[in-house]
Structure 1
Amino acid sequence: ARGPEDSTLDSEEHSGSSISELRYLFQWLHKSLPYILILCIKLTMQHIIGISLGIGLLTTFMYANKSIVNQVFLRERCSKLQCAWVLIFLTGSSLLLYYTFHPQSLYYSLIFLKPTVDFTNFWEVLWIVGITDFILKFLFMGFKCFILLVPSFMMSFKSKGYWYMLLEEFCQYYRSFIPIPVWFRYLIGYREMDNILGWSLGVLLGLLYFILKLLSFFGHLRNFRQVLRIFCTRPHYGVTASKRQCSEADDICSICQAEFQKPILLICQHIFCEECISLWFNRERTCPLCRTVISDHINKWKDGATSMHLQIY
C-alpha cells in the first residue's frame, strides 16, 4: 500500500510539472511577441477602414447619447439648439456613411433586404450587422431628439419619459430581428451548395440559429409587452397629498430639498414632488426614505439613454 509520503511526492511532482508548463508557455509568448505584433499590425492595416469607422461610430454614439441624457436631465432648461444640433449630426453621419458605401447598398439591411456584399465572408457579415445596428441606434436617438424639441406645454416631461422608454424598448426589439437574414445566408454558405454534406450542415446550422433566435424573441416580447402596458396605463405611485399632510412634512421634498411641486403621498406615508419621485422610480423600486417597495418594476430608459449593447447576432 502507498503511504501518505508517496501521495505528497506525487502531488508535489504534479504541481512542479504545472509550473514548468506555465513557465514554458510564458517564455514562448515572450519570444513570439514581436511576431504577434507584426501580425496584428498587418491585420490592422488590412481592416483599417472598418476599424476606423467602428471607432468613429462608437464615438458618435457616445457623444450623442450623453448629450441626449444631459438634455433630458435639464428638463425646462433644455437647450433646443443643442437638441437640433445632435439631430442634424446623427442624420448627417448616417447619410454620409451610406453615401460613401453606396455600391454595397448597406441600407437594404434596415428593411431585411439583401445588400450587395459577399455573404460567405465572415468579416463582411460583421460589417453589415455592425453598421446596421449603429444606424438603427442613430435613427431612434433622432426620434428622441424630436421629442426633446416638443414644447413642454404640448407634452409634459413625464409623458416624454414614457415615450423615451417605449422608443428604446422598440429599438432593441427591432434590432434583434435585423441580423437574422444576414446570418442565415452566411450559415447556409452558398459556396458549399455543390456539396450535399456542406449544404446539409449549412441548413442545420441555419435552423439551429433560427430556433435560438425564436427562444430569445419570447423574452424580448415579454419585456416589450410589459413596457407597452406601462406606456398605456401610466401607473401612479400614490395619491395627491393634502395641504395638511404637506405641512406636517415641513413643505420640503426630501429629494430636491425645495418646496413641494404637485406633492404625491406614497403608501408608506412619505411625500415627494411628483416629478422627483417619478425620476427616482426610473432607477429604483423602493421609497427613498424607508425603502418600502412601491413599484413592481423599474422604468428603464425614461432618462433618454440608449443601450450600448451591440446586437451582433
Structure 2
Amino acid sequence: MQPSCAHLHNIQGSGNDSSSSPRLSGDGSCHPGTGDVRIQLSSTAGESRENATSRASRPGSQSRSHGHTHAHGEAAGLEDPAPDSEEQGGSSLSELRYLLQWLHKSLPYLLILCVKLIMQHITGISLGIGLLTTYAYANKSIVNQVFLREQCSKLQCTWLLLYLTGSSLLLYYTFHSQSLYHSLIFLSPTVDFMNFWEVLWIVGVTDFILKFLFMGLKCFILLVPSFIMSFKSKGYWYMLLEELCQYYRMFVPIPVWFRYLIAYGELDTALGWTLGIMLGLLYLILKLLSFFEQWRNFRQILRIFFTRPHCGVPASKRQCSESDDICPICQAEFQKPILLICQHTFCEECISLWFNREKTCPLCRTVISDHVNKWKDGATSMHLQIF
C-alpha cells in the first residue's frame, strides 16, 4: 500500500509545528503519475549535531579563552615597567637629540660670540699664556739644574734669574697705571673692585709674580758654590722656600676678594650692605680653616729644616768594602757613605736625592723615611692660588 501525497504532507506539517525538536525529516516529493515517493534527507540533522557539538564545546572554549585572557592580562601587567623605561629612554634620547640640533644650529653664533669675547680680553689672554709659558720654562730648567748638581750650568742659572726678574719688572712697568705691585704687600691696586674680571686679573698676575720671585731665589741658591752650601743643604732650602711661597700666596688674595665681596654696587641699601658683610665674613672663615690646615704642614717642614733628620749613620771602611766600594745608585766610589738601617750603603748625596721622591731603600724597599720631601728637587707648585 503506497502512502498518498496528502498523508506525507501531513507528516511534514506536523514536523514543522514542533519547533523545539530537531528537524530530522527531509523534503519529500510525490509523483502522482508513477506513484513513487522520493524522500531527500537534508543536512539539518548534521547541522544540528554540529551545533550541539559546538554548543557543548563552547563552555570549555570560553573557560580556556577566559583563562587565556587572565594570563595575558597578568603578563601584560608584569611587562608594564618595560615600556615605561623604554619611554623614558626614548624621551632622554629625544632631548639629547634636540640639544645636539640646537648646538649645531647655534654653533656659528657661538663662534662669533667667542671671537668677540677673545677680542675684548685679548690683552689678558695673551698675558696669561705668556706667564704660564714663562713659569713652565723656568720651572723645568731649575729642576734640571738641581738634578745635575756639580755639572749645573752657572750661566744657565744666571740667565734664569735675569729672565724672571726682567719679566716681572716689564709686566709691572707695562701696567704701572694699575699699581698691581701693591697687592704684593696687601695694598689696594688702582682698579675697579666691582668688576669680577678685574679681580681675577689682579689675583692671577700677583700669583705668577710671587712664583717668579721665589723661583729667582732658588736660582740664587743654585749659584752658591758647593763648598759653601752642600747639595743636601740646598735641598732643604728649596723645600723651605717652596713652602713659604705657598703659604704667603694664600694670604695675598684676601684683601682683594674681601673688598670685592663687601662692595654692594647697585644694592646701595641696608640689605646690600648686610649681604656683603656676610659674604666677606664667610670668606674669611673659610680662609682661616685652610690656614690652620696648611699651618700643620708648614710646622712639619720647619721642624725638618731645623732638625735635618738623618736617614742613616756614616759607614765604616769595612762596610764600604762589603759593597765593593761602589755606590749602587751612581755606580762610582763612595762619597760620604751612609749606612741605612737595612745595612745597605750609599753616597750621602745620592741617597738624599733618592729620598726626595721615595720613602724606601732603593735595593730592599725597606721603609726608611716617614715622609717625602717632594720640593727638595727645586720644583715649584703649578697650583694657581685664585681664592
What's the TM-score, normalizing by structure 1?
Answer: 0.97
CA contact (8 A) 1:193 1:199 kept: yes
- In the other structure, the counterpart of 1:273 is 347
Deviation at 1:176, TM superposition (A): 0.5
Partners of 2:251 and 2:103 in 1: CA distance = 41
- In the other structure, the counterpart of 1:23 is 97
| Local SS of the residue matching 1:191 | coil
Aligned residue pair count: 313
| Local SS of the residue matching 2:241 | helix
Unaligned runs of 5+ in 2: 1-73
Query: Of 162, 174, 178, which residue of structure 2 is paired with 1:100?
Result: 174
Superposition pairs of residues 59-78 of structure 1, within 5 angstroms: 59-78=133-152
Pick 1 or 2: higher relative contact order, CA cutoff 8 A, min separation 6: 1
- In the other structure, the counterpart of 2:191 is 117
| Local SS of the residue matching 1:153 | coil
Deviation at 1:250, TM superposition (A): 2.5
Superposition pairs of residues 33-52 of structure 1, within 5 angstroms: 33-52=107-126
| Local SS of the residue matching 2:265 | helix
CA contact (8 A) 2:329 2:346 kept: yes
- Classify 1:4/1:251 alpha carbon distance in 2 versus 1 (closer, same or farther; 3 Å): farther
- In the alignment, structure 1 residue 239 sits paired with structure 2 residue 307: no
- In the other structure, the counterpart of 2:15 is none
- In the other structure, the counterpart of 2:128 is 54
Counterpart of 1:222 in structure 2: which amino acid?
R
Partners of 2:337 and 2:186 in 1: CA distance = 48
Counterpart of 2:233 in structure 1: which amino acid?
S
Partners of 2:330 and 2:101 in 1: CA distance = 59
| Local SS of the residue matching 1:287 | coil
Counterpart of 2:152 in structure 1: which amino acid?
C
Deviation at 1:252, TM superposition (A): 2.2
- In the other structure, the counterpart of 2:219 is 145
Deviation at 1:259, TM superposition (A): 2.3
Partners of 2:175 and 2:144 in 1: CA distance = 32
Residue identity (%): 83
- In the other structure, the counterpart of 2:41 is none
Superposition pairs of residues 174-185 of structure 1, within 5 angstroms: 174-185=248-259
Structure number, greater radius of gyration: 2
| Local SS of the residue matching 1:123 | helix
Deviation at 1:190, TM superposition (A): 4.3
| Local SS of the residue matching 2:338 | strand
Deviation at 1:257, TM superposition (A): 2.1
